[in-house]
A and B are shown apart, each in its own frame.
Chain A
Amino acid sequence: MANDLVRMEHINKNFGSVQALDDVTFTVGRQEIVGLVGDNGAGKSTLIKILSGAHPASSGQIYFDDKPVEIKNTWDAIQLGIETIYQDSALVPQLSITRNLFLGREPLTGPRYLQRMDKRFMDEQTRKLLGELGITKAINPDTPITSLSGGERQSISIARAMFFESRLIVLDEPTNNLGVEETHRVLKFIQSARDKGLSCIFITHNIYHVFQVVDRIVVLRRGKKVCEANPKQTNIDDIEKVITGIHDTLPEHRAG
């Protein structure tokens, strides 16, 4: 398709003798949420780490906005508008919400050589964002991340990506360790990000979450892309069978 936001073509990745990715072609459309699923070690994290510049592909080509790009490090990815929220933590626990929100993109005030952060502006924006997050209890922008719940942390990571008008948000298992309420909030957030024009890659082991929010499902198994499906035209059972390897393809593909 000519109008995809991201096209990763024929991506291979070897870690020594381990082939983590085997000729994977993966696309994300504009304003599309793609669910990337697969068992442990299928290569999901590896694929998105290549996209976000955490490590290079062994071979393959990436296109962004239909232009071939080389993503050598995280900075390159950020410049393209790719924002990654990692499985473990995307925030610096000791720092305040404000400092985390603006980390790497601190607005400055005063003469340039002083490199002074515009704390007032930062705090203002943080307060506004916290309000939009729907976190009901009053949270001070100075609060260190350590005193927030897992869901609040995830929401802040996602809000940060939206705030800086990234084009693509990559979420590696954002709903891990979250309660029902907080999971729900994160899912809603992903949808509202799409409504604002962003695209999303959503990795999770929870098929139910995938079915709730994504526009397309991509299944990886042992480093290979085994199928793509529209959640409206398939069901959870069939996808699960493909993930675990009971079936190689979805029913209609097998028939046809």
Chain B
Amino acid sequence: MQSSSRLQRLTSAPAFKRFVAAPEFGPLVLLLVEIIVFSFLTSRRASVDPFFSIFPSFLSSTNITNLMTFIPELGMIALGMTMLMTAGEFDLSVGSTFGLSAIIMWTFYNAGLTSLEVGFLVAMLISIAIGFVNGWFVTRLRIPSFLVTLGMLLIARGAALYITDGFPQRTWSAESPLVDVLVGEFRVGDLRIFTSLLWFILFVVVLHYVLVHSKAGNWILASGGNPMAAIARGVKVGRTKVWLFILSAVMSAYAGITSSIRVSAANPNSGDGYELEVIAMVVIGGTALTGGRGSILGTVLGVLILRVMRNGIVMVGVPGLAYKIFIGAIILGMMALHSTLERRTGNGR
């Protein structure tokens, strides 16, 4: 009796209500459910079937290390995409930029043209150019971002294939402080952690701040919500969007380079199809495809949800090929949830 009234008091507190009404609440619940279900299924499987007890369980440090290694790579792209989508545009060329940037850096380095650091800078400059061209076509020529970035997807992928003749680039001969800065390893207890995770966390904090607390964030939200009204108020919508296209390309390039160092391979085809997975992560987190609403924290949850799903279903023994069925189902389920919530509360910040 007493405990139920305490529960009532808790659930009627304004802070609790706000927490539940937040667009990030749905994804958070889904993530927790996933973790609980997978932990339960993997531990049961290990106890029933002695063969599986040699595999790490879902919550083992090996598996958590594994999860945290992958998260920053797609996660970085998803952060850039979140900002861009909040402003009402999206970028299909992220996967190609991911592949091309690593190819450029390693090609320059392997050919002995530049040091690795300069190769890195060249790759970053090219990604800035990619983002600028995307933004320029979208804002100046008023071509939908779907078409512009589809064109760029093909150009960047084609460039990566052409430069390499389709062959992977050598990556193992590199000795450079850059490698340690981007994906250095260190241990925290049983966990092996890459510096890329720290970079990811830093970007989460910075971009969350920008979107929610800064003047730029207000401009980004307004550019996606009602560009005409924003322009009438003197908001430089075109310039804002160009910067976000550049951000998206730079984040993709950064992720591509990080990934190539970590797996010691720069394959001209890597990043293929990432654009759709990233957009899925972003929308699952509650950012609107049509702009005007966006959440960096939601995106972090979206990234975790899909990563945990990919990792978990393999561990419980569902064939990995079925992964796409689950992503599809999650997208549809989350979209239904977000649209219901929005209709009920008229969501805004």
Report A-chain residues with C-beta under 8 Å of the C-beta of B216: 115
Task: Report yes or no: B347 in contact with A92, Cβ–Cβ below 8 A.
Answer: no
Report B-chain residues with C-beta under 8 Å of the C-beta of A115: 214-216
Task: Report yes or no: B348 in contact with A90, Cβ–Cβ below 8 A.
Answer: no
Docked Cα-Cα span, A78 to B216, in Å, equals: 19
Q: Which of B66-74, B98-106, B190-198, B229-237 contacts A (4 or more CB under 8 A)?
A: B229-237
B221 at the interface (CB under 8 A from A): yes
Which of A99, A104, A147 is close to B221, meaning CB atoms less than 8 Å apart? A99
Task: Report yes or no: A103 in contact with B235, Cβ–Cβ below 8 A.
Answer: yes
Query: Given contacts A116-B214, A119-B213, A146-B348, are A104 and B228 in contact (CB under 8 A)?
Result: no
Task: Report yes or no: A94 in contact with B230, Cβ–Cβ below 8 A.
Answer: no
Report A-chain residues with C-beta under 8 Å of the C-beta of B346: 144, 146-147
Q: Which of A1-9, A81-89, A124-132, A207-215 contacts B (4 or more CB under 8 A)?
A: A81-89
Those of A56-96 within 8 Å (CB) of chain B: 74-75, 78, 84, 86, 88-96
Query: Given contacts A95-B349, A117-B215, are A88 and B228 in contact (CB under 8 A)?
Result: yes
1/0 per residue, CB under 8 A from A, across B214-258: the answer is: 111111011011101111111110000000000000000000000
Task: Report yes or no: B234 in contact with A92, Cβ–Cβ below 8 A.
Answer: no
Report B-chain residues with C-beta under 8 Å of the C-beta of A220: none
Q: Smallest CB–CB gap between A109 and chain B, Å?
A: 10
Task: Report yes or no: B225 in contact with A94, Cβ–Cβ below 8 A.
Answer: yes
A31 at the interface (CB under 8 A from B): no
B157 at the interface (CB under 8 A from A): no
Docked Cα-Cα span, A92 to B229, in Å, equals: 6
Task: Report yes or no: A92 in contact with B349, Cβ–Cβ below 8 A.
Answer: no
Task: Report yes or no: A92 in contact with B226, Cβ–Cβ below 8 A.
Answer: yes
Task: Report yes or no: B229 in contact with A89, Cβ–Cβ below 8 A.
Answer: yes
Task: Report yes or no: A142 in contact with B349, Cβ–Cβ below 8 A.
Answer: yes
Docked Cα-Cα span, A143 to B345, in Å, equals: 10
Task: Report yes or no: A96 in contact with B348, Cβ–Cβ below 8 A.
Answer: yes
Report B-chain residues with C-beta under 8 Å of the C-beta of A108: 215
B292 at the interface (CB under 8 A from A): yes
1/0 per residue, CB under 8 A from B, across A105-118: the answer is: 11010000011110
Q: Smallest CB–CB gap between A148 and chain B, Å?
A: 9
Task: Report yes or no: B233 in contact with A103, Cβ–Cβ below 8 A.
Answer: yes
Docked Cα-Cα span, A96 to B230, in Å, equals: 14
B293 at the interface (CB under 8 A from A): yes
Report A-chain residues with C-beta under 8 Å of the C-beta of B213: 116-117, 119
A52 at the interface (CB under 8 A from B): yes
Those of A127-152 within 8 Å (CB) of chain B: 142-147
Query: Given contacts A92-B225, A94-B348, A144-B348, are A84 and B232 in contact (CB under 8 A)?
Result: yes
Report, as a range, how many residues of chain B touch the other chain.
20 to 34
Task: Report yes or no: B215 in contact with A92, Cβ–Cβ below 8 A.
Answer: no
Q: Smallest CB–CB gap between A113 and chain B, Å?
A: 10
Report A-chain residues with C-beta under 8 Å of the C-beta of B348: 93-96, 142-147
Residue of A nearest to B235 (CB): A104
Those of B167-204 within 8 Å (CB) of chain A: none
Report B-chain residues with C-beta under 8 Å of the C-beta of A104: 219, 230, 233-235
Task: Report yes or no: A99 in contact with B232, Cβ–Cβ below 8 A.
Answer: no
Which of B214, B217, B236, B292 is close to A92, meaning CB atoms less than 8 Å apart? B292
Report A-chain residues with C-beta under 8 Å of the C-beta of B230: 92, 103-104
Q: Smallest CB–CB gap between A162 and chain B, Å?
A: 15
Q: Smallest CB–CB gap between A55 and chain B, Å?
A: 12
Report B-chain residues with C-beta under 8 Å of the C-beta of A75: 234, 236
Residue of A nearest to B215 (CB): A106
Docked Cα-Cα span, A84 to B228, in Å, equals: 12
Give the residue among B222, B225, B228, B233 with the most A Cβ atoms within 10 A: B233
Q: Smallest CB–CB gap between A80 and chain B, Å?
A: 11
Task: Report yes or no: A92 in contact with B232, Cβ–Cβ below 8 A.
Answer: no
Docked Cα-Cα span, A142 to B349, in Å, equals: 6
Report B-chain residues with C-beta under 8 Å of the C-beta of A144: 346-349
Residue of B nearest to A122 (CB): B218
Task: Report yes or no: B232 in contact with A117, Cβ–Cβ below 8 A.
Answer: no
Docked Cα-Cα span, A142 to B228, in Å, equals: 22
Q: Smallest CB–CB gap between A77 and chain B, Å?
A: 8
Query: Given contacts A117-B213, A147-B346, are A94 and B293 in contact (CB under 8 A)?
Result: yes
Docked Cα-Cα span, A88 to B348, in Å, equals: 20
Docked Cα-Cα span, A29 to B224, in Å, equals: 37
Q: Smallest CB–CB gap between A195 and chain B, Å?
A: 25
Docked Cα-Cα span, A95 to B230, in Å, equals: 11
Task: Report yes or no: B232 in contact with A52, Cβ–Cβ below 8 A.
Answer: yes
Would you list 25 pairs from A and B whose C-beta atoms are within 8 A, ordered by A residue?
A: A75-B236, A86-B229, A88-B228, A89-B229, A90-B232, A92-B226, A93-B225, A93-B292, A94-B349, A95-B222, A95-B292, A96-B349, A99-B349, A103-B219, A103-B222, A103-B230, A103-B233, A104-B219, A115-B215, A116-B213, A117-B215, A117-B217, A117-B218, A119-B213, A145-B348
- Given contact pairs A94-B292, A99-B218, a sample of 9 additional A-B residue pairs in the complex whose CB atoms are under 8 Å apart: A89-B229, A92-B222, A92-B230, A93-B226, A94-B293, A95-B218, A96-B349, A103-B218, A117-B218
The 6 nearest A-B residue pairs measured at CB: A144-B348, A104-B233, A92-B225, A94-B292, A106-B215, A104-B234
Residues of B within 8 A of A (CB): 213-219, 221-222, 224-226, 228-236, 292-293, 346-349
